[in-house]
Amino acid sequence: MTTQTPTLNAFEGFPTVASPGVAAVAFIPRENYKAVVAALKADGFEMASDVCGVDYLIAGARTLPDGVKPERFEVVTSLLSMSRRIRVRIRVQLPDLDPTVDSLFELYPGTEAMEREAFDLVGIRFAGHPDLSRILLPEEWEGHPLRKDYGIGRVPVQFKSTPGPR
Partner 1 sequence: MVIDEHITTVSRPIWPTEETSEGSQELFPRTSTDPAELGREVGAVLRLPEGPTLDPTQIDIERSDDETMIINMGPQHPSTHGVLRLMLELDGEVVLRTKPIIGYLHTGMEKQAEELSFIQGSTNVTRMDYLAPLHNELVFSLATEALLGVEMPRRATYIRMLMTELNRISSHLMWMATNGMDMGSTSMMIYGFREREMILSFFEKTTGLRMNHNYIRPGGVAADLPDGWEDDIEVICNTVETRSYEYDELLTGQTIFRGRMEGIGNLTAEEALALSVTGPLLRSTGVPWDLRRTMPYLAFDEVEFDVIVGTYGDNFDRYSIRLNEIRESVKIVRQLLANMPSGDYRVQDRKVTPPPRGRIDSSMEALIHHFKVFTEGFAVPEGEVYVAVESPRGELGCYLASDGGPKPYRMHIRGPSFVNLQALPLLMRGGLLSDAVAVISSVDPVMGEVDR
What is d(CA 94, CA 100) in angstroms, rounded to the nearest whole number? Answer: 7
Taking CB under 8 A as the rule, does residue 155 contact partner 1? no
> Read out DSSP for 116-148?
HHHHHHH--EEET-TT---SSS-TT--S-TTST
Closest CA to 27 of 91, 75, 71, 94: 91
**Residue pair 62/70 in contact by the 8 Å Cβ criterion:** yes
Q: Which of residues 27-56 bind partner 1 (CB under 8 A)?
A: 46-50, 52, 54-55
Taking CB under 8 A as the rule, does residue 87 contact partner 1? yes
What is d(CA 87, CA 140) in angstroms, rounded to the nearest whole number? Answer: 37
Please give the biggest Cα pair distance in the chain.
72
Q: Which of residues 104-123 bind partner 1 (CB under 8 A)?
A: 105-114, 117, 121
Comparison of 81 and 166: residue with beta carbon closer to partner 1: 81
Comparison of 39 and 137: residue with beta carbon closer to partner 1: 137
Closest CA to 112 of 132, 96, 85, 97: 132
Task: Write down the least CB distance from residue 125 to partner 1, Å.
Answer: 16
Taking CB under 8 A as the rule, does residue 149 contact partner 1? no
Task: Write down the least CB distance from residue 30 to partner 1, Å.
Answer: 18
Q: Count residues binding partner 1 (CB under 8 A).
A: 50
Provide the binding-site residues for partner 1, judged by CB under 8 A.
1, 19-22, 25, 46-50, 52, 54-55, 59-60, 62-63, 76, 78, 82, 85, 87, 89, 105-114, 117, 121, 130-131, 133-140, 145-146, 150, 152
